Structure formats: structure tokens, C-alpha cells
């Protein structure tokens, strides 16, 4: 028995420290900050949260009370015209007005609904669904665009059955999580979270390899920094599914490790944001000093994991959407570990899809984007993989598949 109080207290103190040391995650590696020639302020800014609720006006109902919704106001203009006001989370912001809501009528009727964007212009062709899962594009004859493009009027046939209207297919955090969990019984895939968003939603992670992680060259894949960019996410899904299915057979995952972060901005997605997170920031401009919690945690996880397992990161792919299909690639002057990858990969994709122009746009990484960061942090090839807003869904799936095959062909030949 220890009788001296000072010694007893010292031992108790050391015991508590040992418990805390065991319960605190180890911090491995070093997350470097980076300077860019075109820096961006990513300090947290105030946003306007839309009010969730249901509108009932003269027998017509509309609601934004579900994840991914965007409907800031709903009004009746006259007997046949209603108006849905769509405003962003804050400004300045990229002109990508996302909208999503449910609408119905007490009795069957046809009405016109004006989508009003204020200072922004119409970007996304309206989609409709009867269940929120299966989507179709509204016929172009039912859509009338204003002369200044700041509004679009859509004609709807309504009944008591709820009709979903959205800018793109809804892929909220629950649906993305279900897709990730569809791999839970796959021996190649380990599913987890690397942390939480500002509002406590999980930052999902998929580790894909066969056997141990150690010493394997690694590829990083991310998606949904910008909430409305669903077409890029759909391409990423097809890309990952093809890699998992085919890579199990051709030995790809015996040699390589794939780390996937499918939803970087879950708060923005579930809140129906145009572009930003709840910090009012474009996350794809925060790959410099990591002001936002989502980027800080995901970037740290990439660095710490690859450092711990002695992985050489060769490639980083970031899936996005824009007005047309395009690959933002590193300029030939940018030094990287696999300088011939881009040309070889894009050529095979072009040939496989039988298209004349692959639409490549090289850059020198002058802004704090993920693709520039992949190169600066790891010396890797960083590519922003953009899919057009209106690209046919069948082609998106095929392009994702072809991209996966071309990637495996390149890396399996690599010494």
C-alpha cells in the first residue's frame, strides 16, 4: 500500500494520462498547407437556411420537408399560375439554382408553375418522379423559359398523388449511404467514416483492396463537393462498381489500394444547397488551409492513412458536373509520378466510346482545388472528371465503366 499522498496522486495522474493516450486517435503524417497564385477566402460565412414546411393554397399543396429539398416560397399568382421561389444559401455563388419539392392537388387539374430564381438563371431541366426513386425528364413542350432565363414555367398535371419535381435525381446522404452499404459483404471493401460534417452527418469512406493496405500504390476518388452535381456522382458510381467487380478478377486489387470518399458535402446535399456547405464555402476552394471541417478531416485522413501504410499516391480523381463533359487535367509542365497516365487513359476512353473529341482542358493548378492539392500534397496526377448536366444517363454509366477499364489496363501494365 502506498502511504505518501504525492506519490499516490502522481500514479493516479499517470494512469489517467495513459487512458487518454489510448483513447485519442493517433495523428500520423503531416497535413501541409499550400499557397496558390489564385487564393480563395474560405473562412466560414453566414448562410440563409430555408424554412421547412408545407404550403396549402386553394387546393394545391407543396412541401420541402425532406432531405435534398429546395423551395423557399410558394405562391398563387392567378387561377392557373403558381410560383416557386428558389434562392441560394448565400452569395456570391455559382449560378446553379437547385430546386426539389413535392406537389399535389386536392382534385385533378393542370396548372403552370413558375420557377423563379431571382438574380440567377435556369440551369437544370426539370425531372419528375412518382416515388422519389425513378426519375424522368419533363417533356420540353411543358417547359417555357423566360427571355432573361431567370425563371422557367412548367406545366404540370396534378392529382392527390404526390409528384416529385427536382433539378436532378435526388441522391441525398441516405441514398448515398445505402449505395455504400451495398458493398458491406464484399471482401474487398471496408466501409467506415472519417469524421462528421459540421452538422454531424458521416463523412463516408470506402477502402478497397485485397489483403493488406501496406506498401500498395494508391488511388484516391472523391465526389459531391457541390450538392447539385448528381451526374458526376452517377459516373463515379459506375466507375467504382466496375473497378470492384472487375478488379476482383484481374488481380488489380492485389497490387493497388483504392480510397473512396463519395460524399464530401452531406450537409449541403441534404439542405438542398446550390453549391456550398453550412460554412457558406465552396469546398473545392478549401484545399489550402482547410478552414472547413469536411475538407480538414478528409484531407487529414488521406494523408495519415497513406503515411501509416507507406502508400505512394499516384492518382486523385474528383467527380463533378458542369455544362458539358470535360476532363480538367494537369498541364504538361506539372511534375507528377505518372506523367503519361492522362494521355494514355483519355485515348483509350475516347476510342472505347467511339467519340472524336475527349474534351480535355489542362491547367497548372493555380487555385486551391482538390486536383491541384493531389499533386501538391502527393506528387500525384490530379484530375477533375466533369459530366454534363444533360448527359444521357445511359452514356454516363457507360463512360464510368469504360473509364474504369482504361484505368485498370494502364495500372496493370505499370511496373
Predicted confidence (pLDDT) per residue in 68-93, tens digit = 999 999 999 999 999 999 999 999 99
Residue 209 in any domain: the answer is yes
Maximum Cα interatomic distance, the chain, rounded to a whole number of Å: 90
- Same-domain check for residues 357 and 323: yes
Single residue among 138, 166, 194 that ends a domain in this structure: 166
Per-residue pLDDT, averaged over 153-175, amounts to 98
> Which residues make beta-bridge pairs with 191?
206
Q: What per-residue confidence (pLDDT) applies to 28? A: 34
Q: Is residue 47 part of a domain?
A: no
Number of domains present in the structure of the chain: 2
Mean predicted confidence (pLDDT) in 92-98: 97
Confidence class of residue 31 from pLDDT cuts 50, 70 and 90? confident
pLDDT at 13 over 90: no
Per-residue pLDDT tens over the stretch 178-225: 999 999 999 999 999 999 999 999 999 999 999 999 999 999 999 999
Contact between residue 45 and residue 279 where contact means Cβ atoms under 8 Å apart: yes
128 within some domain: yes
**pLDDT tier at 25, thresholds 50, 70, 90:** very low
Q: Is the residue at 23 inside a domain?
A: no
296 in the same domain as 311: yes
Cβ-proximal residues to 272 (8 Å cutoff; 6+ apart), any chain:
50, 64, 68, 69, 70, 98, 99, 100, 227
Q: Give, in order, the Cα–Cα distances in Å from 57 to each of 79, 107, 153, 165.
A: 11, 13, 18, 18
Indicate if 180 and 141 belong to the same structural domain: no
Same domain, 224 and 162: no
- The answer to the question of residue 17 being in a domain is no
Closest CA to 156 of 131, 139, 168, 169: 139
Average pLDDT, integer, range 327-337: 98
Q: Decide if 24 is inside a domain.
A: no
Q: Strand order of the sheet with strand 127-129? A: 54-57, 60-63, 100-105, 163-166, 127-129, 136-137
Count other Cβ atoms within 10 Å, centred on residue 363.
16
What is each CA distance from 214 to 59, 254, 357, in whole angstroms?
63, 11, 39
- 401: its cell numbers: 465503366
Structural domain contains residue 29: no
Percentage of the chain modeled with pLDDT above 70: 93
Q: Which domain holds residue 66?
A: 54-166
Residue 37 clears pLDDT 80, i.e. is over it: yes
Answer yes or no: is 22 within a domain.
no
Q: Are 380 and 316 in contact (CB under 8 A)?
A: yes
The CATH number given to whatever domain includes residue 406 is: 3.40.630.10
Residues 206, 315, single domain; the answer is: yes
pLDDT in tens, 266-319: 999 999 999 999 999 999 999 999 999 999 999 999 999 999 999 999 999 999
Judge if 293 and 391 occupy the same domain: yes
> Same domain, yes or no, for 188 and 311?
yes
Query: What backbone phi and psi angles, to 5 degrees, belong to 16?
Result: -65, -40
Count of beta carbons in the 10 Å neighbourhood of residue 71: 27
Does residue 152 have a pLDDT over 70? yes
Amino acid at each position: 500500500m502506498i502511504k505518501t499522498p504525492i506519490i499516490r496522486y502522481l500514479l493516479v495522474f499517470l494512469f489517467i494520462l495513459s487512458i487518454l493516450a489510448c483513447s485519442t486517435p493517433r495523428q500520423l503524417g503531416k497535413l501541409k498547407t499550400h499557397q496558390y497564385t489564385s487564393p480563395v477566402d474560405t473562412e466560414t460565412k453566414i448562410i440563409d437556411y430555408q424554412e421547412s414546411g408545407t404550403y396549402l393554397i386553394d387546393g394545391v399543396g407543396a412541401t420541402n420537408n425532406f432531405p435534398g429539398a429546395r423551395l423557399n416560397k410558394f405562391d398563387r399568382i392567378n387561377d392557373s399560375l403558381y410560383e416557386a421561389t428558389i434562392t441560394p444559401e448565400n452569395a456570391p455563388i455559382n449560378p446553379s439554382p437547385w430546386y426539389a419539392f413535392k406537389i399535389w392537388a386536392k382534385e385533378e387539374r393542370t396548372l403552370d408553375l413558375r420557377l423563379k430564381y431571382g438574380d440567377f438563371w435556369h440551369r437544370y431541366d426539370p425531372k419528375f418522379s412518382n416515388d422519389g426513386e425513378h426519375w424522368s425528364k419533363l417533356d420540353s413542350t411543358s417547359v417555357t423559359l423566360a427571355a432573361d432565363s431567370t425563371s422557367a414555367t412548367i406545366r404540370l398535371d396534378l392529382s392527390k398523388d404526390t409528384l416529385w419535381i427536382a433539378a436532378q435525381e435526388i441522391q441525398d446522404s441516405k441514398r448515398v449511404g445505402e449505395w455504400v452499404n451495398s458493398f458491406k459483404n464484399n471482401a474487398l471493401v471496408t466501409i467506415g467514416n472519417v469524421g462528421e460534417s459540421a452538422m454531424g452527418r458521416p463523412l463516408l469512406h470506402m477502402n478497397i483492396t485485397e489483403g493488406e493496405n501496406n506498401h500498395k500504390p494508391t488511388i484516391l476518388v472523391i465526389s459531391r463537393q457541390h450538392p447539385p452535381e448528381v451526374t458526376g456522382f452517377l459516373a463515379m458510381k459506375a466507375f467504382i462498381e466496375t473497378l470492384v467487380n472487375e478488379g476482383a478478377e484481374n488481380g488489380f486489387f492485389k497490387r493497388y489500394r483504392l480510397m473512396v470518399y463519395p460524399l464530401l458535402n452531406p450537409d449541403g446535399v441534404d439542405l438542398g444547397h446550390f453549391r456550398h456547405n453550412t460554412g457558406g464555402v465552396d469546398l473545392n476552394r478549401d484545399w489550402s488551409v482547410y478552414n472547413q471541417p469536411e475538407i480538414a478531416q478528409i484531407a487529414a485522413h488521406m494523408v495519415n492513412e497513406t503515411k501509416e501504410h507507406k502508400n505512394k499516391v499516384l492518382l486523385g480523381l474528383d467527380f463533378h458536373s458542369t455544362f458539358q463533359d470535360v476532363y480538367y487535367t494537369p498541364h504538361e509542365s506539372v511534375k507528377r509520378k505518372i506523367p503519361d497516365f492522362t494521355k494514355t487513359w483519355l485515348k483509350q476512353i475516347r476510342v472505347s466510346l467511339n467519340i472524336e473529341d475527349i474534351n480535355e482542358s489542362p491547367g497548372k493548378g493555380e487555385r486551391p482545388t482538390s486536383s491541384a492539392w493531389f499533386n501538391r500534397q502527393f506528387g500525384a496526377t490530379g484530375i477533375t472528371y466533369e459530366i454534363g448536366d444533360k448527359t444521357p444517363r445511359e452514356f454516363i454509366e457507360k463512360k464510368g465503366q469504360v473509364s474504369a477499364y482504361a484505368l485498370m489496363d494502364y495500372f496493370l501494365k505499370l511496373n
